[in-house]
Amino acid sequence: MSTATLQRDSSGLLPLWRAAQVFRLASLIYAGAVQWTVVEHYVRPLLSWAVFALMLIWSGIAAMLLAFGYRRRRQVVAAEVVVTLLLMASTLMVGGKNNYFDRHQTVPTTFWAANAVVSVAILLGPWWGLACAGLVGLSALAICNQLDNIGFDATLPILLTVGLAVGMGAQIVRRAREQIDRAIRLEAAASERERLAREVHDSTLQVLALVRRRGAEIGGPTAELARLAAEQEDALRKLLSRQAGVEAPVPVPVPVQRDLRSRLEEVLPTQVSLAAPGQPIVLPEQMTDEIVAVVCAAIDNTAKHAGADARSYVLLEDDGEEIVVAVRDDGAGFDPSRLAEAAAEGRMGVSKSIRGRVTDLGGTVDLFTAPGEGTEWEVHIPSTGAEQR
């Protein structure tokens, strides 16, 4: 859908072109009123009516071509500048009684002549708009013999302002449109990449999971195959969950938010059981990182001390007011008084990495352990307070 829009009007300037044609109509009405009022001052009134008729015809043609997305805008606009200059020059032939034109504007009024400046500015931007304003304005002054009055006459400043303002407006629209196009393309590319990744990886994960399972069952040398498949499956799964979190590189709002659940999924080894809600738990990035670090410290501790067969379980809960993370292993456990001893001896490993971090987040830590009973850390962290940090 978006590509169809892009093809029809890639610049996004169509509304501006249409607005310009409303301006053209107003300028035409004004030119008509002026013509009606001052025609008696002309030497050749009939010729002035012919000039006005040509203005009408050209205005109609240009308005139709520019308002309805005609592809050759450049040619139309170039023709518009030439036609405007020629019609203005015809003033010399229309002539005015008692040097009428010395004090007035050309037969095509300055207001009408501004259409050429507007068109050039929309098409080519502020610099060309200024250049065209200079050309039209100076021509008007020259024709009316007002060049010596250049500092006092308002024609040139008005046209220059129109050229600059409309040109800048058009440039802003064009750049905004380019940015939108780029964003649309990025988004389409990202979602397509994600879709492909899902398709491809779903199949690959299936096969790896199958090899892992069958291989482990057959045993012997095939167990090695199963182990390799398991490693690849883990790696791919982590890669996938990371990729799912990647979004198009648009400017990121501050502060950055992260889903704690998918961050833990990425980081934790697959043999660790992660129990979590169905919905993402979105927190400020720094907070997410700290909680992940706490969980990792607890898991590392399990790997070091709990024994080879110990399994780790992580439970993640969010009740809207606080985040509760429990990390439990079913390993050897220990006498909690040993922690105090370790602290007294200056060994602060677990205490520092877990308690310190949680305290910084304004939370609390509970440790449940006993010899033979496994180890369980339960961390409570207020989620509302952290958002203001």
Partner 1 sequence: MTTIMVVDDHPMWRDGVGRDLTEHGFEVVATADSVAAAANRAAATKPDVVLMDMHLPDGNGAQATVAVLEHSPATRILVLSASSEREDVLEAVKAGASGYLVKSASQAELVEAVTATAEGQAIFTPGLAGLVLGEYRRMATVPTGDGPDLPKLTDRETEVLRFVAKGLSAKQVGTRLGVSHRTVENHVQSSLRKLQLSNRVELARYAMEHGLD
Determine, following the binding rule CB under 8 A, whether residue 214 of this chain makes contact with partner 1: yes
Nearer to partner 1, 290 or 322 (CB): 322
Whole-angstrom distance, CA of residue 324 vs CA of residue 275: 12
Sequence-ordered strand ranges (E) for the chain? 257-259, 273-275, 282-284, 312-318, 322-329, 364-369, 375-382
Nearer to partner 1, 289 or 330 (CB): 330
> For partner 1, what does the binding mask look like between residues 184 and 203, x meaning CB under 8 A?
-----------------xxx
Provide the minimum distance between the beta carbon of 172 and partner 1 in the complex, in angstroms, as a whole number: 42
DSSP code of residue 121: H
**Residue from 93, 207, 250, 256 in contact with partner 1 (CB under 8 A):** 207
Q: Count of H helices and E strands in the chain?
A: 15, 7
Provide the minimum distance between the beta carbon of 231 and partner 1 in the complex, in angstroms, as a whole number: 12
Count of residues near partner 1 by CB under 8 A:
40
List the interface residues with partner 1, window 225-254 (CB under 8 A): 230, 233, 237, 240-241
Nearer to partner 1, 89 or 236 (CB): 236
Q: Are 378 and 326 in contact (CB under 8 A)?
A: yes
Tokens of 173: 């629209």
Residues 6+ apart with CB under 8 A from 8: 69
Determine, following the binding rule CB under 8 A, whether residue 384 of this chain makes contact with partner 1: no
Determine, following the binding rule CB under 8 A, whether residue 278 of this chain makes contact with partner 1: yes
Q: Which stretch binds partner 1 (CB under 8 A): 1-9, 14-22, 44-52, 274-282?
A: 274-282
Determine, following the binding rule CB under 8 A, whether residue 258 of this chain makes contact with partner 1: no
Question: Following DSSP, what letter does each residue of 329-345 receive, concatenated?
Answer: E-S----THHHHHHHHT
Nearer to partner 1, 198 or 347 (CB): 198
CA dist list (Å): 139 to 15, 82, 108, 174: 30, 12, 12, 30
φ/ψ (deg, to 5) at 376: -135, 125
> For partner 1, what does the binding mask look like between residues 310 and 329, x meaning CB under 8 A?
-x-x-xxxxxx-----x-x-
Whole-angstrom distance, CA of residue 169 vs CA of residue 183: 21
Determine, following the binding rule CB under 8 A, whether residue 15 of this chain makes contact with partner 1: no
Q: Which stretch binds partner 1 (CB under 8 A): 72-80, 131-139, 212-220, 335-343?
A: 212-220
* Other residues' Cβ atoms within 10 Å of the Cβ of residue 326: 19
Q: Are 12 and 174 in contact (CB under 8 A)?
A: yes
> Where do contacts with partner 1 occur on this chain (CB under 8 A)?
201-203, 205-207, 209-210, 212-214, 216-217, 230, 233, 237, 240-241, 262, 265, 270, 273-279, 311, 313, 315-320, 326, 328, 330, 376
